[in-house]
Every structure is written in structure tokens, then in C-alpha cells.
Structure 1
């Protein structure tokens, strides 16, 4: 999982997304029609383009160092510059990247064979030492690697030949290839990193990678430019567009207006509030699957939300369809569990996983009578609950307001408390802070399909966000079997068996998954419409329609 927004290397910030970053999107009336046509890839480009100006939603990146990037805006840029041994594909599957193949002499050992024809932008050849050095940065707590926690199963990463890298795990891990496909697994040139020191990935220190684009002019406050790499190794991803200039725009209304006026040629993550206007613009608005999710997580082990009947009742009472229509502009779907279904899509056993997800009980429309009965059964001595959101986050406020209304209907007294970033962050590490909060409005996304590891943060007794003390040995065992299985189908069956156990516990109150929203001006095409772009070199496919 990954929406890495801020600091701590040991924290999977996907879970802290609402907590640490406010989304400025305001709730809007439902669009005239619900976006239901989902696209994986836009039509293939057949012509070249000299330059494109692309919009980034949010602040300008402060770093492009692959192990430090943590926002959608940063990922949007770096995914075209730096690449790893494995690569996420537009359909969210994982395929080979800088590795032309790999061997697995034992379930715990992977030997990656690096392509011999790869060069950094400065013309120097990629070596196994560069790869091992880059990956080992995630194992160094001093590096500040925001996804370093994902490498906990890794015992060692070594260059075992000029073009061979051996990754040794403490036990088999079904997520490891997906982990290596994320930007934390992207390769930088060792000498460049060591020469730049703390400035690596900044305007002062530059960047040195192997991707289809190389970093061009970057002056803080004036946007970021990337230019086509004429010596790129992968001829299937030879760029159609020579230069791309990224403009970061914080205000959603400004972003929408710039797309409509033609000041921007395209953007991912366009504001839900702009869906109606953009759908009527001269360009094309595409919708694609994503792993973006919204949910409410219980954080107090002794409050009302620690009672499973209260969580079940809130799940039944929440008007999830209203959230999708009114807040997401129709670009989403109610969610049945804490894992968004697109996270399963690229798995070799996706058919079984998605079928099991489809069979989970859903309640897009509220069932107030059933929810009220559960609250009566719980016989609470205190019916007051506090929902924490990040101050200024209008999307979280809209979700919390709907939850508050649902709670009122079933006999609960729910208060919304807007907290500052530091206060929200404190909830994750200070049990005393959690005593005053019952539910945390949470959103995030997965950069790669690591739903197994993500599930563990809720299910395992020591899981990062298992604040209510959930401990079911059968569920833990099934998840461990899924994570350590070497056969994808076996892993899927173990996961499904475990899902049948933890689903009934409602470790979260799931709300919705959000579709990706891509806007392209007339004449541009080629790029993925799914959220896989945060790890895939999408810009290499961007070109003209003729």
C-alpha cells in the first residue's frame, strides 16, 4: 500500500492519508450521469508531440528521490524517470522491468538478472552494484525511506555478479515482487547519490536514473521539466512526446479551469468537483480503476466503536451511495471491505480473489432498521462517539457528516473533531491520544498490489492500525499462509479463507473506492487511465492521435 505523504519510514502512510494530507475537493451535486465506462489504456498514440504542459494536483514536489517520494504528484513525475527490477503494468499486474529474468533457487531467494543494455542518462552502464545499493537504501533507517517498512521480510540484498542481484528473505513472501515494482525499488546511480548526499533528488542535487525521460530544468516554484531519453533501452516505451512541463496547482477550481482553458494539456487525479465541467470540455475525461479508498477506522480499544456490533451497525447505516454520488461525483463505488477490488486485479489468481470479493455482503443503501437493532443489542452505557478528521479536509468532512447523520438515525451521538496533522499523527503512536477518539476518517491508495501486507496491518495482533486489539489465531494463520505461499492460487485460497473470518469482525467501516480521473486535451492520447500510472512510465505512451 502506498500513499506516502510524510516522514516516518516505518509508517505505511497509506493508512495516514487523510490524517496527513487534506484534500481540497468540495462536495458537489451528483453529475448528470454516473461514470461507469472504465478504461485501462486510452487509444494508442500514432503521432509525436513536441511539448506538453501537465497538471499536478497539490504542491510542487520537494524531492524526486525515489525512496523519499510520497505524494501522488511526486509519483506522477518520478514514475517516468526512475525504474526498478520489476514494473507495475496498466492493469495493475507486475512484470519484468530492469530485470530481464529471475531465478528462485529456494522459496526465500531471488536472483535477478539485469538487462545488459541499460545506461543511466549520463551514458554510464547500469550495474548490479547500483541496483543493490539502491535497494539497500530501504534497509537503512537513517535514509528516511518512506516505504522502508515494506522491506522488513528482506534479510539481505547483494550484487552477486556484474549483472546479478540476489535478494534473500527471512521467509517466503508473496508480496516481494510487487514491493520491488514500486518506486522504493527504483534504481539510482550509486555514484550520483553519494556525490549529492542529502541534496539528491532536489534541484540542487539532481537525479540520475534510467527511465524513458530524464530530469530537465527544475527551478523551485516554476515547475519541473522532463525530456525524452534518446538512449532508452525499452523500444516498446520510446517516448512520443519530447518535453513535458509539470505545473503543480493546489486549488482544485484553478486546476479545472486551467484544463478547460487549455493552459494545461492534461492531468491525472482531476477534482471530483470538476467532473461535470470537464465532461463537457473540448478534451476527453476518462475514468479508470484505482486502489484509492475511503474508510473509518476504530482507534479506541475501550470505546463504543470497539464493539463489533457498533461497527456493523455503522456499516449498515452509512449511505455509501450518497457519498459516491455527492462527494466523488459518481466516480467510484461503495466498498465491501478494507481492500479495494482493483488491488486484486493484477494478481495471477485475480479471478478467485475478485469472485470472493463480489460475494461479500454489501450495503450500498443504508439499512437503518437492522443497524438500530444492533445498537440495541450492544446496550451501550455511553452512546457518544467522536470522529476525527484532518482540519480543512472537505472530503473527510463530507464523509464524517454522512456518518454522523447515520449514527443519529440509529441512536448514537456522534461528534466530528477536526485535528491538526500533528494531533492525527499522535493517534498512531500515543494510546492516551486515542482515548478521546472513536473513529478516524481515513483514505489512501496502493502504489503496487501489496494487499496481503496491507491486510496484516489490521488483522495481525501487532498490526500498525490494529488499535482495538483484534486477535483471532485462525485469521492470523490464514493470512500468514497466504503471504508465505509460493503458488498464487494457494495464496488466494488462504486469503479468501481468512477474509471469511476477519470480514465479520468489521475491523473498519468501509465506505468507497474512488475511480481514477484522467483528462486529456483534444489530440492527445495513449496513456493509462488506471491509477497504475503512479508506478508506471505513463508519459512514454503520451502522444498525438494522428
Structure 2
């Protein structure tokens, strides 16, 4: 989704990419799904219950976390580790709804106040007790310019965070803010020891300083470039989530093929974000199985440069019409998922009545492939022959296929694409470092939502937002979203979200491709989790035990 590193990348030309995609497209159109793809898949809400505890297990991650400082935990590697050692005020369940966490209860007594009753009897990994002062110190970091939190937008409306009782914290906002409390179930709501934050300073969250939180696992050792070792925290407050494993290791394997081989051989016990091309291989083996779960992710093309050809909405629409998104889904994601015309999934609209949800999706344009119409739009915009740079990285097959398919589509409608391939770590910098995005027109993202509310996606695309990478500015859209944020009733808020969705669908600041399920692999040694995008914020590793 979003990421952090800055490493020099390399450029390569389009010729080989387009030639390769041409062959792939021919094979795809004649044969359907790629060789070995399995069509008989379905969403699982859980996996078999464990038979008992286990000494340890290992887990593959496609990149080393940028940081375990919750203020910068904004991507898949960071959050899937952090979720097991640090906890938030609220917990996200598999359906993305919220339940009490470090806050045993919460209330919204006035339109602009959120009051959290802090759970007693909780200790940090160093044995010290959780207090309201720790909560205040943790939340205030997000509004400190010196910290530069990646979650600052969650706190944009916050005017005050203070202790209002022995175990009570009140957050005051300048306007009613429906989104704030929902973010208390993700990294924006993580609580750390105030003393640890002060003592560790700039080393907090890195491989030297580590973290000192309240989760079922404690961080034991971070070997930079290799792995992170966690141990069960014996003083954990919640017996229902006591870690079944005495220890676990996150192993950094940046090469997709190496990651697949490690899973297939049993060298590593599990992994989230299983590359689609690996699914048939792993399901055909005898070492374990792949499970598909609830997701809030849409794979899309981020339009980063609105000063170039893509600044004209006609060119963006031309690209949407030229892309073979069904082919991208099949060749890049094994057919696991569905083509999407929106930047939200139905999961994000959970809890609303079916009619409201169906109306929000039925009213958007489908962008069915139409090359002649696309060519006409490019000609009308006067963009023929103009260059568009696509950034990509060898993270998984969908990255490669989406970049090549985009290049082929641009070529077919009279534009001149260039593919810039960088390392996986360098790719993460696109999401946080404006200098890394310089000269990039398009880049691929697997964008997940961190709350069960479509308004979160649209809030990201308002003018001036951290993740509005192309600086798209649509006054009517921003007005609608700002109004929606202030509506506390979910059904009424959904009406504004539906309006916002139609504008995004029409203007295409990002171009949606497909919505995949969560894919997780478990070896035959372990079992016991619920496949869901909530793995980014819920202590999923604690539930894994012996098969």
C-alpha cells in the first residue's frame, strides 16, 4: 500500500516489456486464466483451531519494516509485525468492526469529544503499569511537527488531548469527526509507555531502540537486514489472546521467488500477501495450504503527476478505457478477486443496509474496454506521442503485469510509456518521499483501508492530504467529504460517501484495477488465525498454534 525507503533504482526501456506483454495477452485471451491457476477458491472466515501450543514458528515478510514506531507504521511489513507487540485503544475484528482494546469503553458525549476509559491491570513489556498519562503522551506524538507522524491526517481536527480522570482520556476536536474514533483501532491509536518514548528518543522503534508496548509478544531482537525475533509476553493482560507460540521470527525475503521456495520447502511456516503466481504451486504441495480472506484492498494506479499528460481527465479516462483489467487480474493475480471500478470494496461499507451499498456501486461508470473511444479522447486532448513514466518494482507478479499492461495500453492509444523499475525498498519511498516520486507519472498500489468506512478512502484524496500524491484538487469533492466526515450517523454518512465515490469514478485521480482477497499461507505445522485484512492491526500471531 504505502511505504518508506529511499534506495537508488534502475531504469529499463519499454521495448522488452511491451513485447513480453503482447505474448502474455495472446495466451491469456485464448486460454483464460494463466496455466496452473485455480478457480475454485472461496473466502474463509477462519482456519482450523490449533491442537495446542507450539515452541516457535517463522513468517516471511517481503520487506524489512521501515520502523516499528507506530507513528511511521504505514505499510504491510511494519504493521503486521507491530500488531503483535503493540496495541491500540480499540481492536479491529475480522469484519473490520471495532471492539474494546486498551480502552475498555469509549463515548461521544458531545459532537466534538471522544472519551476513553483506560483498562486497568495492563502492563507494558518492562512490567510497568499502563496509565492515562501514557495514552496522552502516545496520542500527542501524532500532532507534534517534530515527529512528523504518517498518521497526522487522523488528528487534523484534534484541538486537545488530556487526562480527565485517573484512567480517563478525552480527545476534543474542532468539528464533529466521525473518522477519529475509527482510527483508534489502527496504528493511529497505538499506546506506548511515555517513559520509553522519552528515554529512547530518536531510536524509538528502530532496530536499536525497539518498542515497549502491551501486546502478547515482546520484541526480543531485530537483526537488521535479516529478521525480527519475538517472544511471548508472559504478563499479557488478556488470557483469551495469550500467545500460543513461545516465540516467532519474521524473516525478510525480498525476492518473490525465494519467498515462494521458502514456503514450499517448509523453511518458513507462513506469509501474508502470498503472490498470486505462488498459489497453485503452494496448493499443489503437501507442506501447507493457502487461505483467502476478507479484504479492504483495491489494486490501482496512482496518478502522481497532474502537470503532465495525465493532468487532463480525458487522458486518464482514455487509459481506464484502454486497460485490459480482466487480463491484469488473471495474469497478475491469478484471477483471485474481481475487476473494480471503484477505490473501495464492499467490506469497507460493512454494517450498512444492502440497498445503500448496492446503490453506491451501481451508480458508477464501468469503464469497459474500448480502444477506439480511448484513442479519440487522447487525440481530443492533444496528448498523442507524449511520454508517461510508470514506476514499478519486483515485489510480486501483479506489480510486473500491471506495469507492462499499462505500458501496452498507453502504446495502443498513442502515448509513449517508459517503465522505471526500482528495488522493493526504493518503491516504498514513493508513498512518503516526494523526491522519490519526481518524474513519475504512475505507480501501482495495493491500497487497503484501515477502518470499516468508505469515507476513509475519500478523505485521503482531499486537497492537501498526505497520501494525495498527485495533489488532485476537486473543490466539490473536498466539500462533500468534509461534510461527510462530520456526520456521525453511518447511513447518512454513506450518502455523502456515495457522492464522493461517483466523483472519483468520473475524475480518476487514481485508476482502480481489481479488488483481491487477503491471501495467507500456513504450513502444516501451524493453524488458528482468521484470514482478514485486520492482520494489520490485530495480534493475529497470538492465535497460531500447533496443527
Tell me the TM-score normalised to structure 2 length. Answer: 0.85
Counterpart of 2:498?
A: 496
Counterpart of 1:402 in structure 2 is: 405
Shift of 1:519: 0.6
Do the aligned residues in 2 keep the contact of 1:319 with 1:366 (CA within 8 Å)? yes
1:455-534 alignment, distance < 5 Å:
455-460=458-463, 465=468, 467=470, 470-473=473-476, 475-534=477-536
Aligned partners of 1:353 and 1:227: how far apart in 2? Answer: 45
Query: Which residue is 1:141 aligned to?
Result: 145
Q: Deviations over 1:290-347 (max 9, x none)?
A: 23333234344454433333322321221111111111222332121223443333xx
Equivalent position of 2:334 in the other structure: 329
Aligned to 1:12: none
What is the alpha-carbon distance in structure 2 between the residues aligned to residue 507 and residue 117 of structure 1?
Answer: 47
1:189-208 correspondence runs (5 A): 189-208=193-212
Q: Secondary structure of 1:532's partner?
A: helix
Which residue matches 1:18?
none
CA RMSD between the two structures: 3.2
Q: Which residue of 1 aligns with 2:93?
A: 89
1:391 Cα deviation after fit: 6.0
Report what 1:22 is aligned to.
none
Task: Please give the alpha-carbon distance, in whole angstroms, between the structure 2 residues aligned to 1:353 and 1:80.
Answer: 35
Structure 2 unaligned blocks of 5 or more: 7-19, 25-33
User: Residue 253 of structure 1 aligns with which residue?
Assistant: 257
Decide whether aligned partners of structure 1 residues 375 and 195 sit closer, same or farther in structure 2, where only a CA change above 3 A counts.
closer
Structure 2 counterparts to residues 35-114 of structure 1, below 5 A: 36-59=41-64, 61=65, 63-114=67-118
Q: Which residue in 2 is equivalent to 1:320?
A: 325
Q: Closer, same or farther in 2 for the Cα pair 1:424/1:525, shift >3 Å?
A: closer
Q: Does 1:288 align with 2:293?
A: yes
Q: Distance in 1 between matches of 2:319 and 2:117?
A: 51
- The range that moved more, 136-145 or 214-223, is 214-223
Task: Provide the C-alpha distance between the structure 1 equivalents of 2:469 and 2:244, rounded to a whole number of angstroms.
Answer: 47
Verify the 8 A CA contact 1:304 1:383 in the aligned structure 2.
no
> Structure 2 vs 1, CA of residues 368 and 124 (structure 1 numbering), >3 Å: closer, same or farther?
same
1:34 and 2:39 matched? yes
Cα 1:357–1:117 change in 2 (3 A) is same
Count of residues in correspondence between the two structures: 518
Q: Which moved more, 1:219-228 or 1:184-193?
A: 219-228
User: Given that residues 94 and 177 in structure 1 are in contact (C-alpha distance below 8 angstroms), is that contact kept between their aligned partners in structure 2?
Assistant: no
Q: Is the 8 A contact 2:431 2:467 kept in 1?
A: no
SS in structure 2 of the partner of residue 243 of structure 1: strand
Distance 1:407 1:63 in 2: 37
Q: What's the CA shift for 1:485?
A: 0.2
1:277 Cα offset (Å): 0.9
Q: Give secondary structure in 2 for the equivalent of 1:476.
A: helix
C-alpha displacement at 1:422, in angstroms?
A: 9.7
Q: Name the residue aligned to 1:308.
A: 313
Question: Would you say the 8 A contact 2:399–2:444 is kept in 1?
Answer: yes
Aligned to 1:279: 283
- The list of structure 1 runs, each at least 4 consecutive aligned residues, that deviate by more than 6 angstroms after superposition, is none
Q: Equivalent residue of 2:296, what SS?
A: strand
TM-superposed deviation, 1:491? 0.5
CA distance, structure 2, for counterparts of residue 153 and residue 69 of structure 1: 21
Report deviation, 1:114: 0.9
Matched, 1:446 2:441: no
Is the contact made by 1:127 and 1:163 (CA closer than 8 Å) also made in structure 2? yes
The yes-or-no answer on 1:412 pairing with 2:414 is: yes
Quick one: distance in 1 between partners of 2:347 and 2:440? 30
1:270 paired with 2:274, answer: yes
Determine helix, strand or coil for the equivalent of 2:417.
strand
Deviation at 1:424, TM superposition (A): 8.1
Question: 1:422–1:293: structure 2 CA closer, same or farther, 3 Å change rule?
Answer: closer
Report whether the alignment pairs 1:178 with 2:188.
Answer: no
Partner Cα distance (2:295, 2:370) in 1: 27
Q: Report the CA distance between 1:167 and its aligned residue.
A: 0.6
What is the CA–CA distance in structure 2 between the aligned matches of 1:240 and 1:78, rounded to whole Å?
A: 18
**Structure 2 CA distance for partners of 1:195 and 1:538, relative to 1, 3 Å:** same
Query: How many Å apart are 1:477 and its aligned residue?
Result: 3.0
Q: Distance in 2 between matches of 1:424 and 1:194?
A: 27
Match for residue 5 of structure 1?
Answer: 4
Provide the C-alpha distance between the structure 2 equivalents of 1:199 and 1:303, rounded to a whole number of angstroms. 40
Q: Which residue of 1 aligns with 2:14?
A: none
Q: TM-score, normalised by structure 1?
A: 0.85
How far the C-alpha of 1:360 sits from its partner, in A, is 4.3
Residue 172 of structure 2 is matched in structure 1 by: 168
Measure how far apart 1:41 and its partner are. 2.3
